[in-house]
Amino acid sequence: MEAPPLIAITMGDPAGVGPEVIVKALATGRWLARARLIVVGDSRVIAGAARQAGLDLVIRPCTAPPDAGSPEPGIDVLELANAAPETIVPGQVSAATGRAAMEAIERTVELALLNRVAAVVTAPINKEATHRAGYGDIGHLEYFARVTRSQEYATMLVSGRLRVVHLTTHHSLRQACELVTTDRILQRLRLTHRSFERWGLERPRIAVAALNPHGGDGGLFGDEEATRIAPAIRAAQSEGIDAHGPHPADSVFNRAIAAEFDVVLAMYHDQGHIPVKVHGFAESVSVALGLPFVRTSVDHGTALDIAGKNVADCRSLVAAIETALLIVEGRWLT
């Protein structure tokens, strides 16, 4: 019998809700029969979060990932000892908490690249805090891509049956429209196709959202559909990719929820984020495409306004762990 896979969970920013949602999610014990989970961070922060949440959990600090074997109740923490609780003010941005969050990510990437863990799940970081700590990456995915030298990568948001890959994310709307090019769309279609194939779906059905209202209405509201998007779809189809569209954005996401498509390619951040979060805000998950390891994440931020108040909802982290495990098990898309 194979040992259960080991999945690493980063601590997140210790001044945010990351530690709280971690202890709440792991307290459920729902993965004990299927996986071994290890938190990478400071065991004192995790123990404090458990106390604050009123959870009687065994916290086991360790200096290396645990050996294969049956998971035990409680929480294993790969000890970094880098976030002294007395220095942390819940809800307050600081270079120290940003550095602690990034150090947890750095250690986790090392484990993933050494194949010591089967998947990585990330709790939220605060971009202002990480920038104060001297890190220049925009976010998790940009950091992962840089250190793994991944040339093509993308964010996919998931909520239930709805899966949305983004052509652009953190750009102004004006910049995002300029980045809607035939070459970029074709590259993203290829990446999406390869990723779904690797996860076990031989011929994923990819819908492409239009950029303009009503898909441009024959050029009345813009010609990007005819001049940029449709040529990329035709090129992808010639390579055997099952791409469709461009479809008006006000209907294509509902068609995907109804199982007509396996995934939608959105043209810009809000076009893709809004339908996912409306469809299932609390359970939405971020999945990375193009990395050399499985990585999922909560689809929310550090929520500094509620940090330390024991009101954070752990459902997004639960969904992120479950999604990572299903991908590892080869059952996510079956």
Give residue-wise pLDDT tens across range 54-90: 999 999 999 988 765 567 788 999 999 999 999 999 9
**Rounded Cα gap, residues 317 and 303, in angstroms:** 14
pLDDT higher than 60, residue 6: yes
Average pLDDT across the chain, whole number: 93
Residue 72 confidence (pLDDT)? 76
Helix and strand numbers (H, E) in the chain are: 12, 12
Neighbouring-strand partners of residue 206: 243, 263
Output 14 or 169, whichever has higher pLDDT: 14
* pLDDT > 70 in the chain, percent: 98
pLDDT higher than 90, residue 3: no
Output 4 or 66, whichever has higher pLDDT: 4
Q: Where does the pLDDT of residue 138 fall: very low under 50, low under 70, confident under 90, or very high at 90 and above?
A: confident
Neighbouring-strand partners of residue 286: 157, 297
* pLDDT > 90 in the chain, percent: 87
Q: Where does the pLDDT of residue 1 fall: very low under 50, low under 70, confident under 90, or very high at 90 and above?
A: low
Q: What average pLDDT does this structure show over 98-112?
A: 96
**Rounded Cα gap, residues 38 and 120, in angstroms:** 10
Kindly indicate whether the domain formed by 153-281 is annotated with CATH number 3.40.630.30.
no
Residue 139 confidence (pLDDT)? 80
Neighbouring-strand partners of residue 60: 76
**pTM of the prediction?**
0.93
Report H helices in the chain: 18-26, 43-52, 95-113, 127-132, 140-148, 173-178, 182-198, 224, 230-238, 249-257, 269-280, 315-329
Q: pLDDT tens-digit profile of 299-334?
A: 999 999 999 999 999 999 999 999 999 999 999 987
Q: Where does the pLDDT of residue 140 fall: very low under 50, low under 70, confident under 90, or very high at 90 and above?
A: confident
Residues with Cβ within 8 Å of residue 13, at least 6 apart in sequence: 97, 98, 100, 101, 123, 124, 125, 126, 129, 302
Residue 69 confidence (pLDDT)? 58
Domain boundaries, the chain: 1-150+291-334, 153-281
CB–CB of 9/47 below 8 Å?
no
Neighbouring-strand partners of residue 165: 156, 265
CB–CB of 293/113 below 8 Å?
yes
- Residue 77 DSSP class: E
Q: pLDDT tens-digit profile of 179-230?
A: 999 999 999 999 999 999 999 998 999 999 999 998 877 878 889 999 999 9
Q: Which amino acid is at 61?
A: P
Query: Is the fold of 1-150+291-334 the same as that of 153-281?
Result: yes
Q: What average pLDDT does this structure show over 232-257?
A: 97
Residue 176 confidence (pLDDT)? 93
Q: What average pLDDT does this structure show over 3-29?
A: 95
Burial (0-12, 13-18, 19+ Cβ within 10 Å), 56: exposed
Q: Which amino acid is at 214?
A: H
Nearest Cα to Cα of residue 16 among 82, 84, 90, 87: 90
In the three-class reduction of DSSP (H, G, I as helix; E, B as strand; rest coil), residue 34 is classed as: coil
Q: What average pLDDT does this structure show over 256-275?
A: 97
Burial (0-12, 13-18, 19+ Cβ within 10 Å), 69: exposed
**Which contiguous run of DSSP H or E holds residue 246?**
strand 243-247
Superfamily of the domain at 1-150+291-334: Isopropylmalate Dehydrogenase (3.40.718.10)
